[in-house]
Amino acid sequence: MTTLMTTVDSDVKARLTKDMYRTEEEQNYEFLYKRGQDVLLSIIEDEADAVRENIKEMCPELADAFIIDAYGRYISSDSILPMKETELCIIAAITPLKLEAYVAYHVKGSAIYGASKDEISAASAIGNLALNART
């Protein structure tokens, strides 16, 4: 990590915050689990239990990490990006992976958080650009 940081421009280093951006509450696993669960339910509603069970079958410990870290800590946190933009970024990131069910969940999530059809199409197009660049 020290070697990596030596390559960062001093102006960039000066602009990096030294403050924690996570609140004390956001460092609490019970809070993160509830927040993650709430966001997951808002996006995939009736399928949340099935998704969790599928993850649990693959790797039991991953199921809680999925709720706590993916949804509770990152996706649901608006301290960096608002939820709409987070969902749009996820669409762009997972489109090249051809995970249609997950893309559909996040298309729904982005609409729930206010994304327009044009914004969703643009995020998908960005993902498809990445896909086409790989092939």
Give the pLDDT confidence of 74-89 residue by residue, as tens digits.
898 887 789 999 999 9
Q: What is the pLDDT of residues 11-61, one digit of tens each?
A: 777 777 676 666 777 778 899 999 999 998 888 888 888 888 888 898 888
Q: What is the pLDDT of residues 101-122, one digit of tens each?
A: 889 999 999 999 999 999 999 9
The larger pLDDT score, comparing residue 1 to residue 35, is at 35
How far apart, in whole angstroms, are the C-alpha atoms of residue 32 and residue 16?
Answer: 25
| 119-135 mean pLDDT | 86
Structure tokens at 55: 């993850």
73 within 8 A of 33, measured Cβ to Cβ: no
How far apart, in whole angstroms, are the C-alpha atoms of residue 68 and residue 76?
Answer: 10
pLDDT confidence band for 1 (50 / 70 / 90): very low
User: What pLDDT is recorded for position 48?
Assistant: 82
Whether the predicted pLDDT of 3 surpasses 70: no
